[in-house]
Structure formats: C-alpha cells, structure tokens
Amino acid sequence: MIRQAAITGIGIVSAIGSDLASFRQSLFSGRSGVRRIDGRALPVPYAADVAGFVPPAGFERADRSVQFAIAAARAAVADAGLCGAPAGRIGEYVDSDRAAVSIASSKGGVASICELRERLARTGGPVEPAALADLFANCWPSTPAAAVAADLGFRGPTAVPAAACAAGSHAVIDGALMIERGEADIVIAGATEASIIPLISAGFCQLGVLAPDGVCRPFDRDRSGFAIGEGAAMLILENTADARARGAGIYAGIAGHVRAADATGIVALDESGASVASAITRALHRAAIECGTGVPPVIPEPREVDYINAHATGTRLNDIIETRAIKAAFGSHARDVAVSGTKPITGHLLGAAGAIETAICAIALRHQMIPPTINLRTRDPECDLDLVCDARRPAAVDVVMNLSFGFGGQIGVLVLTRDGFR
C-alpha cells in the first residue's frame, strides 16, 4: 500500500501571530510584522521579531530558537487533536518508537554563543559553570529537535537537516520520507530560527541583501532585499490513511517533493534558473501532476498547480532567477499560475522560512485563499508572472507548490494537494 504524508496539525510562532487564527488574519490581510527595532545595535534596525514572547515553562534558560520550537510543537500537537497531557506529551497516545522528529535551524543557538562571547569580553574572567552548561545545551543545531523529542516523548528517528534557508523545506521533506518509507507513523517536522542579532545582520549587510528601510518588495523594480524574521513553524505529519482512520482534520497531502543542489556557488544560484526548473519538474513528476511542458501525465487527467509560494527574497537577482525557473518549468502555464511571496509579511525566517511557507501553503488550501505579495508597486518587467499583489485572492486551490533556496545552492520543492483532490 502506498503511504503518503498528510499535514494534520500546524503550530506557529511568528511576528504576525503565534496562534493560527491571528497568524491567518494577519497573513491574508497583508499586515507586516516588520518593525523598527532599536537598542540591539543592528546595522539595519528593522526586523520581524516575536515581541512579548513568553518562554514555555521549564525552558527559560534555553536558547530562544529552542523556546520557539517547543511552543510551536506543542501548538501543532494540539491542533492535530493529539494533545491529552498537560505538558503536551503524546508518547502515551502513540507508539513512541514510531514517532519521529525532523527539525532544522540554519543558525542553531548562535544568539547564545554571541551572548557568552559578549559576557567574556565584558568580564575578562572565567565563565561560571552554569553559563558554560547553558552554552553546551544551546549551541548545537540538533538541540531544538532533541528538546522537542524529549518534551513530547518521541523516541523514533530524529533528522536535523542543514540546508541554510532551504532547511525548513528539507525538514518537511525528510519527515514526509519517514512516513512514505514506513519508518514512522507520526512526525513533527519544521524549523526554528532566532537570529535577529548584530552578527547575522552585519553579515547580510555585507552581502547587500537587507532592505535598508526594512521594506521587502519581491518582484518590484525597486526591490532592495529583505528584513530578517524569527519564529518557528511545526507540522504534524501522518500517513494519510491513518489520519483518516482516526478522523483527523487534514490540511493537505504532501504529493511531491525534491531536494536538489544548484552546484554553482556559495551565495548565488545559476542565473538561468535551470537547476531550480529541473527540481520543479522532478517534484511535479513525483506528484504525478502535468506541468504544462508536454510531459505525459501519469494520472488520467492532467492537474496543474494553482498557486506557488515563491522564495521571493526581494533581492535583485534572486527574483529574476526564480521567475526564469518557473517559466522554464511550467511553459505556457507559467503566466496562469498564481504566485505570491510572503516574506514581506513574516520577515525572512532564514532556516525556518521553508517550514512557515509550507504551513502557509497548507492554510491556503484549507481556506481556498491566496495570500498577497505586499509592497509591490512597480513590477519588474523581467518578473512577468501572475503575481498576487496587495490583496488576498479567493481562488479554487487544489494544488500548491512551495519553493525554497539556500546558500550553497540548496533547493527544496514541495507540492501539496487538497485532501480528497486526487
């Protein structure tokens, strides 16, 4: 029997809301979480931070990325209807040995490491044992995944993808593969990021990818980059048949996915978009969806993608490369599929971007609504796609795609379908 992963729960911590209702309202209304942040010595004082976040009890000394992960994971468990214990543990409700975790973070506990370095610079003396213990507990990229596994009582496989800004998508893909291969019956998959600190901001400034005014304008003629965001998104993945058997609400089925490498350079993709186009086509083949390029469909009736959540960083070259890739992969259908970029609303969550944008795709399927690309005023003629601008677009949405790219040429493509569509 074919096993397909379904998304049955979503948990989010973000600048535009840390519960699904407020997140969805802000997303569809186009309310940005980017604001001016003073007092943090940021070279560009704009970011989408999670203001007023209260750490989960017992995790007060954890790195902020771990705190976000725990909060989002518990919310996802509750949303999936699996929460029964006060602390959110569900090990007693599922087979713990077949409950897996796939959680990424591109920067890990970098904020904790920088904080300790600053403390050393101030004091010039030895570091107290408790501070060193906190550093070692917080600095590893695997810490969020380990913390979530322990909190929920999951003893199955643990994956910690390292794929820069495509890490969140890779984490969801790894989780889907665990379900498909029969390695797990339930997976909590997603990513977390807490990198609004001077070191990271300065690095992106040197690369010239941060918008000086904090306004991200994807596909706009005057675009100048993005604003850093923070937060986490966690998805509960289950085998579709099992989810239906227990009467779970299903946001979406994960029909296709591809992880790929551009193999061009560390910070830039192939300007032709060929590598991304190839990944898109392979993901569509895996999903058995006709992409409009003359490839014979695997299923009786060709089904086309209705919406693409683009990586859309608002950087000069990236948006053009992404446009070229979509046009190459979709052919004559390229100008018919709706496209939007949501980073101007959420901020660029770096390693967690692919996870939160996969969640956005699932929400679009559930509510038959496409979120807008805000701040787009003057379209770049080279970005000639069907861009959803300013206002949300009600639409019949059955198949959606999420595109993610990361430094080092990392590519992640996910194809989601509305439950029952196929």
Query: Read out DSSP for 191-220?
Result: EEE---SHHHHHHHHHHT-B-TTS---TTB
**Do 183 and 267 sit in the same domain of this protein?**
no
In terms of phi and psi (left: phi > 0; alpha: psi -120 to 50; beta: otherwise), the region of 406 is: beta
* 311 among known catalytic residues: yes
Confidence of residue 87 (pLDDT cuts 50, 70, 90): very low
Confidence of residue 422 (pLDDT cuts 50, 70, 90): low
- pLDDT at residue 77 in the model: 94
Residue 127 above 90 pLDDT? no
**Do 50 and 113 sit in the same domain of this protein?**
yes
CA-only gyration radius of the chain, Å: 20
Length of the chain: 422
Is residue 153 exposed (0-12), middle (13-18) or buried (19+ Cβ within 10 Å)?
middle
CB atoms within 10 A of CB 36: 11
Residue 294 above 60 pLDDT? no
pLDDT in tens, 348-380: 999 999 999 999 999 999 999 999 999 999 999
The residue among 245, 270, 304 that closes a domain is 245
- Measured CA to CA, the distance from residue 320 to residue 355 in angstroms comes to 23
Residue 169 domain flag = yes
Confidence of residue 86 (pLDDT cuts 50, 70, 90): very low
**Do 49 and 182 sit in the same domain of this protein?**
yes
Please name the amino acid found at residue 343. Answer: K
φ, ψ (nearest 5 deg) of residue 26: -65, -40
- pLDDT at residue 130 in the model: 74
More confidently predicted of 366 and 88: 366
Residue 251 domain flag = no
Residue 1 above 80 pLDDT? no
**Do 114 and 82 sit in the same domain of this protein?**
yes
Handedness of CA 283, 286, 287, 293 (dihedral sign): positive
Choice among 83, 165, 361, 383 that is catalytic: 165
Mean pLDDT of 310-325: 97
**Do 241 and 267 sit in the same domain of this protein?**
no
Choice among 170, 216, 291, 311 that is catalytic: 311
Please name the amino acid found at residue 61. Answer: R
Range of the domain at 28: 5-245
Residue 278 domain flag = yes
Asked if 258 and 286 count as a contact pair (C-beta separation under 8 A), the reply is yes
**Do 230 and 333 sit in the same domain of this protein?**
no
pLDDT in tens, 53-83: 999 999 998 999 999 999 999 999 999 998 7
Residue 96 above 50 pLDDT? yes
Q: How many domains does the chain have?
A: 2
Hey, which bits of 195-251 come out as E strands? 228-229, 231-239
Residue 298 above 50 pLDDT? no
Share of the chain above pLDDT 70, in %: 91
Q: What is the dihedral of CA 14, 17, 21, 22, to 10 degrees?
A: -150
Is residue 355 exposed (0-12), middle (13-18) or buried (19+ Cβ within 10 Å)?
buried
- pLDDT at residue 302 in the model: 34
φ, ψ (nearest 5 deg) of residue 330: -100, -10
The residue among 217, 245, 273 that closes a domain is 245
- pLDDT at residue 282 in the model: 93
Asked if 413 and 308 count as a contact pair (C-beta separation under 8 A), the reply is no
- State the number of CA atoms in the 13 A half-sphere of 199 facing the CB: 12
**Do 167 and 305 sit in the same domain of this protein?**
no
Residue 422 domain flag = no
**Do 89 and 26 sit in the same domain of this protein?**
yes
Choice among 257, 348, 361, 383 that is catalytic: 348
- pLDDT at residue 113 in the model: 77
Asked if 29 and 342 count as a contact pair (C-beta separation under 8 A), the reply is no
Please name the amino acid found at residue 136. Answer: F
- What's the token pair of residue 379? 């379209």
**Do 160 and 284 sit in the same domain of this protein?**
no
Share of the chain above pLDDT 90, in %: 76
Asked if 347 and 314 count as a contact pair (C-beta separation under 8 A), the reply is no
The residue among 181, 216, 245 that closes a domain is 245
**Do 318 and 369 sit in the same domain of this protein?**
yes
Residue 211 domain flag = yes
Residue 177 domain flag = yes
- The CATH number of residue 90's host domain is 3.40.47.10
Model confidence, pTM: 0.93
Confidence of residue 89 (pLDDT cuts 50, 70, 90): low
Residue 352 domain flag = yes
Pairing of strands 369-370, 386-387: unpaired
- The DSSP call for residue 267 is S
pLDDT in tens, 204-216: 999 999 999 999 9
**Do 214 and 274 sit in the same domain of this protein?**
no
More confidently predicted of 289 and 361: 361
Average pLDDT, rounded, for the chain: 90
More confidently predicted of 410 and 122: 410
pLDDT in tens, 133-189: 777 777 788 999 999 999 999 999 999 999 999 999 999 999 999 999 999 999 999
* 333 among known catalytic residues: no
Of the listed ranges 21-35, 54-68, 88-102, 159-173, the one predicted with least confidence: 88-102
- pLDDT at residue 301 in the model: 33
Closest CA to 98 of 195, 217, 178, 218: 178
User: Cα(first)–Cα(last) distance of the chain, in Å?
Assistant: 16
Confidence of residue 300 (pLDDT cuts 50, 70, 90): very low
Matching residue, tokens 């007693």: 92
**Do 70 and 162 sit in the same domain of this protein?**
yes
- pLDDT at residue 85 in the model: 42
Residue 102 domain flag = yes
